[in-house]
Structures are given as C-alpha cells and as structure tokens.
Amino acid sequence: MTTLENASAVLQLFSRQGSGQGHPGLSFSDVVEHLKLPKSTASRLLMTMESQGLLERDPESRLYRIGKLILSVASHYLSAPLVDAASPYMAQLGNTTQCTGYISMLAGRDIMVMRMFPGRTYLQVVTPAGSLLPAHETAIGRAILARYSDSDVIQRFGTDYRVNSVNSPQTLEALLARLAEIREKGVSHACNETLQGISTLATSITNKHRNEMVGLCLSFPSPQEGRDIPAGIKEGLIAVTQQLAEKLGDEYWQ
C-alpha cells in the first residue's frame, strides 16, 4: 500500500473505533495490530501524519488523536450553509443533464427557491431565486415534506388544504399517499403541475450538524405521453444527492 493509502486506513480506523469526543485516541499498537503494518512502517507513517497536522499526540498518554488540520477543514465545510455546499454540485449537474436546477428550502407550507442554475434546454418560464411556491404542489416541496412524519404534515396543513393544479394531490390523504411513495423511492416527480409542459424530479438532503434541509430539483420539458424521463436525469440527481449525503452524514441515503 502507498503512504496515502496507509494514512487513509489510519483515519478510517479512527472512525471504526469511534474515536470522537470523549474517546482517548489510538495507540501505536492499535495501528500496528489493526492495519497489520510493520512497526517501522507504522512509526514513519504516524510521524509524517503528525508533522503534517493530520494527527496530534497527547504528551501524557502518547495516544494519537485527529489533528487540527482535519478538524479545521471539516469544521469549515460543515459550517457552510447547506445551500452553498450543494450549489457546485447542482451547477455541474445542470450542465451535464442540460436541465434547469433548483435548490429550495421549506418555509411553512411553501418552498422558497434559494438558487437556480439555468440549463441548456430551452424553457419558456423559469422560477427565479426568492420565489415562493406551494410545497405540496411541487416535486421539490414533496421531497422535503416526505422527510417529515405524517403527523407533522397533517399539523402543518391542518384542515385548510387547498390546491391550484389539477395534477397535484387533491386531498390531504392523497398527499400523504404520495409522500409514502417518495419515502420508498427516494425521488419525487411532478408533471405539468406548477407549469404546463414542465416536469421536475427532486430529492432532499440534510446536514445534521446544522439541522438544515434543502430540496434538490431538476426541471425539464415534460416527455410526450407514453415516453420515459430522458436518460441520465434521475440517475444524475440521485448520484449527486448520495455524494452530498455521504459528506454530510445524511443516513437517509445510506
């Protein structure tokens, strides 16, 4: 194994051992035993990782802990608003799929568009950042609502459930049934709801470290009746969502 691979194995060992807050750390013997490394190799590896800020060694216990460099990078990434963290992924996805991408957040019964990423596919109407749309009448809103329990959704809408689009769930019971399907599939779909001729696919992602949740959405011309969603759109959206989930610890996608 290369030095980089060995260093990665050491960091993964911290994860497997649960070396977080309150854990004393890893010893030299732990590394040798679990990674099956010669003592001389392990010694050079740990010294290099320590000198580069990847590890720190307690002067009294002589145990290794995660270094300030890794903690600083992780803290910077996890402290960034989820919208900003997801934006580069959605911008790239829009270029790849030629779809218009959106990132939105739940605001009461509505979703607010936080970012829009124009695709190369021509759409007559786009929804600019700052727009508010009924959450239950959009794919991205339902993708977020599906992360809540049925009781939470019922409490949010109460007895005042109204719809504008004939293609949206017409009753609260129909909405709950649609949310159950989304939980099973992971992806929310809307066709000709907010706008005629426009379809959308959406997912949701959370950053548990900041208690944030956003919806990720791709918008594209609705396929003709009987035709499938163009290839690459669903696969690309799920792939991006899973990448973000892995980075942010969103166990929903694991």
List pLDDT tens digits, range 110-141: 998 988 888 776 555 567 777 888 999 999 99
Q: Domains in the chain and their CATH numbers?
A: 3-76 (1.10.10.10), 80-253 (3.30.450.40)
The predicted model scores a pTM of 0.69
Q: Give the three-state DSSP class for 172.
A: helix
CB count in 10 Å sphere of residue 198: 20
Distance CA 64, CA 17 (A): 12
Nearest to 32 by CA among 41, 20, 19, 22: 41
Question: Which tokens go with 142?
Answer: 């339902």
Q: Yes or no: say if 101 and 113 are a contact pair by the CB < 8 Å rule.
A: no
How confident is the model at residue 121, as a pLDDT? 63
With CA atoms as reference, report the closest residue to 24 among 53, 55, 61.
Answer: 61
Largest CA distance in the chain: 71
Q: For residues 50 and 47, what is the distance between their CA atoms, to the nearest angstrom? A: 5
Average pLDDT, the chain: 86
Q: What average pLDDT score do residues 93-108 get?
A: 90
Residue 3 has pLDDT above 90, yes or no: no
Given pLDDT bands bounded at 50, 70 and 90, which one contains residue 78?
Answer: low
* Helix runs in the chain, H state only: 3-16, 28-35, 39-51, 68-79, 82-97, 139-145, 150-157, 172-185, 233-248
DSSP 137: G
